[in-house]
Amino acid sequence: MTDMAAALGRLGELAIEVPSWAYGNSGTRFKVFGTPGTPRTVQEKIADVAKVHELTGLAPSVALHIPWDKVDDYAALKAHAEGLGVGLGTINSNTFQDDAYKFGSLTHVDAAVRRQAIDHHLECVDVMDATGSRDLKIWLADGTNYPGQGDIRGRQDRLADSLAQIYARLGANQRLVLEYKFFEPAFYHTDVPDWGTAYAQTLALGEKAVVCLDTGHHAPGTNIEFIVAQLLRLGKLGSFDFNSRFYADDDLIVGAADPFQLFRILFEVVRGGGFGADSQVALMLDQCHNLEEKIPGQIRSVLNVQEMLLRALLVDPTALTEAQEAGDVLGANGVFMDAFYTDVRPALAQWREARGLPADPLAAYAASGYQKKINDERVGGTQAGWGA
């Protein structure tokens, strides 16, 4: 295996963007559950992000969702975040909650509805200008439920035209990041269902358009690390939305369902140049904490990524290549498995302490009194949540 000290030496390069909406209330399709201490404003969400970063050193930026996180003064919001030690990151659009989008947004047959959706994205770019954000992330609920309901090819043409108008508004250092999802809420077909469609649409747009890979947006059994490798070699992997799934788009804590899958994905990220100071790939979370406490849930999530990244960095590339080229099937697999089964938790605890971080961030949070503080303070007002 690669030397542990050498692998640990690269951990300081890890930064994980966390989503503002993970700190608000969420739930099942049947009910959104309220919990004590839930933020009422985007400023309170950012304060919770800052606490995660304080304890882990892994969450230096927060992704915003418009209009959920809409404010009158984004320059002031940026200053507020920086005062707490974090930055504002990706701006996420929302074209799935307005009544006008029942039959689509950027793909809608009605030009007026498409104009509304395009204008919303142009507003999001205005927000990016004010916050200094690099990425505009677009996930579309557009699709159909029944064969013949819509013109599949025509919807792709309209999508291409809508995206081109948004792309034209981007600044020199801004990117359009197109996310895909193989089903839901549309069940017969989704307009951006897979990496191939997202790749084709972004390729047509230009170099400032890339693909977002959400680890929960695939059919069961999909080899996600193969998709990672392909998008990296094609230069079109822009970002990850890390989460876990058991059945569908479950949005659970990353690594909860299949830690080995997370390890394999991160190995391909490292192998393909997607990790490090020079990488343009954003590592992000996209999760909804329905039952667990939200801040500890985010702490657990970023720690899971850190742990599996360290294991991936322990894979000896020379030994792996030699075994692969020699046709040594079991030897090559053994190089992988030896790294994956290495218990890196004691080394990580020491690494954190050497950098002034708590050895056990979850225990430190429990002892900090922060949860009681926000439970007591955040009384009254409207808690943030889906649609807030």
- Which of 133, 38, 121, 118 is CA-nearest to residue 77? 133
- Domain 14-377: state its class: alpha beta
- Reading the block at residue 55, the tokens are 């304890």
Find the distance separating the first CA and the last CA of the chain, reported in whole Å: 48
What is the rounded CA–CA span in Å between residue 45 and residue 55? 16
Token pair listed for 90: 């990706």
3-state secondary structure of 145: coil
pLDDT-flagged residues of the chain (< 50): 388
In terms of C-beta distances under 8 Å and separation of at least 24 residues, what long-range contacts does 280-283 make, across chains too?
A: 280/210, 280/238, 281/232, 281/237, 281/238, 281/239, 281/240, 282/17, 282/89, 282/90, 282/135, 282/177, 282/238, 282/239, 282/240, 283/14, 283/15, 283/16, 283/17, 283/239, 283/240, 283/242
Q: Which long-range contacts (CB under 8 A, 24 or more apart) does 291-296 make?
A: 291/33, 292/253, 293/35, 293/371, 294/22, 294/23, 294/24, 294/35, 294/38, 294/48, 295/23, 295/48, 295/51, 295/52, 295/365, 295/370, 295/371, 296/362, 296/365, 296/366
d(CA 268, CA 309): 10
Give me the pLDDT at residue 387, please: 59
CA 29 to chain centre: 21
What is the Cα–Cα distance from 111 to 249, expressed in whole angstroms?
Answer: 30
Residue 306 C-alpha from the chain's centroid: 15
Which tens digits make up the pLDDT trace of 296-327?
999 999 999 999 999 999 999 999 999 999 99
Q: How high is the pLDDT of residue 388?
A: 47
Q: Distance between CA 221 and CA 106 in Å, rounded?
A: 30
pTM, 2 dp:
0.97
Q: What is the pLDDT of residue 115?
A: 98
**Other Cβ atoms within 10 Å of 354 Cβ, number:** 10
Given a contact cutoff of 8 angstroms between Cβ atoms, the answer to whether 211 and 198 are in contact is yes
What are the extents of the domains in the chain?
14-377
Torsion of CA 76, 81, 87, 91, to 10 degrees: -60
